[in-house]
């Protein structure tokens, strides 16, 4: 069995993955309420929360699984907040030394990249390798608060980035837009909730880099457009049109993401499956549009289950199992890398 440990930001998480069964257990302590009053994650507070709650999580884990049966510890080594990553790696080193098991570092983004394949494994663990080979090469869309990128997962299970954001990530654009609208942190889910019943075409917001030759995302202009729009509107009009504003703004984000996937698909003709992962993949509008788009281009859509879209340890343990290429050095050589790229 593989123990996954995740502490890149404000979730303390442990999970155990059994290659013959799948995810045995997954434990997460969220710091959402703590950071909400500050309008975002406070790094020092997040690191202290990890220190406080990991002991409890390990105790709870010991009540659910036989810890001596764990033969490998897979811990997030980056990207993420330095102090938070350091806590997770220290916990992983301590566990591996005490239980005399292998220690490996996993790229957090690779965990997200592999998360859509968890259901494939769960459906038939014994045939996972065969099932996976039928879905490669794979085009993945990873969308979170800090990252927005398209990547190829090759037949040899290596990852190659095709497009990244040049400024704000999609999740960041949703959060910043929510802040402009006076909504609480985290803003993305609040925008989605307030968009229900709104008209997606009521307001026109920009989509950057429509040129198919420009493989990049950009969302900074979107939030600027919203700010200018709100400055010109009366408070009463904003209140009356609030659902329409949220729906139109959310649609601009979703549409920009889907358009870029379509553009890339025109040149990446050997792609056999499409994947959606990351925290923003929890957005219902994005999930629906992604699955509809996959159907139109006749590719299977692998969408990360809602339980593994955010930061979690199950995806870290699974990535360590599914692809040894995402692993780093063992033992005392393991260190955190706050700016680690997906293909690093």
For residue 325, the enclosing domain spans 2-124+311-333
Task: Kindly state the tokens that stand for 338.
Answer: 């706050």
Q: How many domains does the chain have?
A: 2
Tens-level pLDDT at each residue, the chain (344 residues): 999 999 999 999 999 999 999 999 999 999 988 888 888 889 999 999 999 999 999 999 999 999 999 999 999 999 999 999 999 999 999 999 999 999 999 999 999 999 999 999 999 999 999 999 999 999 999 998 889 999 999 999 999 999 999 999 999 999 999 999 999 988 999 999 999 999 999 999 998 866 667 888 999 899 999 999 999 999 999 999 999 999 999 999 999 999 999 999 999 999 999 999 999 999 999 999 999 999 999 999 999 999 999 999 999 999 999 987 766 655 555 677 888 888 76
Do 93 and 237 lie in one domain? The reply is no
Residue 206 lies in a domain: yes
287 and 147 within one domain: yes
Mark whether 185 and 289 lie in a shared domain. Answer: yes
Q: The domain that contains 6 carries what CATH number?
A: 3.30.420.40
Are residues 92 and 197 both part of a single domain?
Answer: no
Q: Are 287 and 203 in a shared domain?
A: yes
Residue 113 and residue 208 in one domain: no
pTM over 0.85: yes
Q: Cβ distance 329 to 105 under 8 Å?
A: yes
Q: Which residues, in sequence order, are CB contacts of 249 under 8 Å at separation 6+?
A: 174, 177, 191, 195, 203, 205, 222, 226
User: Does residue 103 sit in the same domain as residue 152?
Assistant: no
Say yes or no: 193 and 74 in one domain.
no
Judge if 89 and 146 occupy the same domain: no
- Each as own residue / partner, the long-range contacts of residues 33-41 (CB below 8 Å, 24 or more positions apart, any chain) are 34/10, 35/10, 35/185, 36/184, 36/185, 36/186, 38/185, 39/179, 39/185, 40/175, 40/185, 41/9, 41/10, 41/81
Helix (H) or strand (E) holding 174: helix 170-180
Q: Are residues 47 and 159 in the same domain?
A: no
Give the DSSP letter of residue 214.
Answer: -
Domain shared by 150 and 120, yes or no = no
289: its two tokens: 């549009």
Q: Tokens at residue 77, please?
A: 């080594």
- Residue 157, Ramachandran bin (φ over 0: left; ψ between -120 and 50: alpha; else beta): left
d(CA 196, CA 271): 34
Answer yes or no: is 282 within a domain: yes
If asked whether residues 143 and 119 sit together in one domain, one would say no
């Amino acid at each position: 069995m593989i123990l996954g440990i995740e502490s890149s930001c404000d979730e303390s998480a442990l999970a155990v993955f059994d290659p013959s069964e799948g995810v045995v257990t997954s434990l997460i302590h969220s710091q959402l309420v703590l950071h909400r009053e500050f309008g975002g994650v406070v790094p020092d507070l997040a690191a202290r929360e990890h220190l406080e709650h990991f002991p409890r999580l390990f105790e709870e884990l010991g009540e659910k699984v036989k810890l001596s049966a764990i033969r490998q510890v897979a811990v997030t080594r980056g990207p993420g907040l330095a102090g938070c990553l350091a806590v997770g790696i220290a916990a992983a080193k301590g566990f591996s030394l005490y239980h005399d098991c292998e220690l490996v570092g996993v790229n957090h983004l690779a965990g997200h990249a592999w998360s859509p394949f968890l259901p494939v494994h769960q459906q038939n663990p014994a045939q996972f390798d065969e099932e996976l080979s039928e879905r490669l090469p794979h085009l993945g869309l990873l969308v979170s608060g800090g990252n927005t990128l398209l990547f190829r997962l090759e037949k040899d299970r290596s990852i190659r980035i095709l497009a990244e954001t040049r400024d704000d990530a999609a999740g960041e654009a949703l959060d910043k837009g929510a802040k402009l609208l006076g909504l609480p942190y985290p803003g993305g889910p609040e925008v989605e909730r307030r968009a229900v019943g709104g008209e997606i075409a009521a307001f026109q917001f920009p989509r950057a880099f429509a040129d198919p030759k420009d493989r990049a995302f950009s969302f900074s202009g979107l939030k600027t457009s919203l700010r200018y729009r709100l400055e010109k509107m009366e408070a009463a009009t904003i209140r009356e049109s609030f659902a329409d504003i949220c729906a139109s703004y959310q649609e601009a984000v979703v549409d920009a993401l889907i358009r870029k996937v379509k553009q890339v698909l025109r040149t990446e003709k050997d792609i056999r499956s499409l994947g959606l992962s990351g925290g923003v993949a929890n957005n219902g509008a994005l999930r629906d549009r992604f699955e509809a788009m996959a159907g139109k281009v006749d590719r299977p859509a692998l969408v990360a289950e809602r339980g593994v879209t955010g930061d979690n340890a199950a995806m870290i343990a699974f990535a360590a199992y599914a692809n040894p290429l995402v692993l780093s050095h063992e033992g005392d050589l393991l260190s955190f890398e706050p700016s680690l790229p997906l293909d690093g």
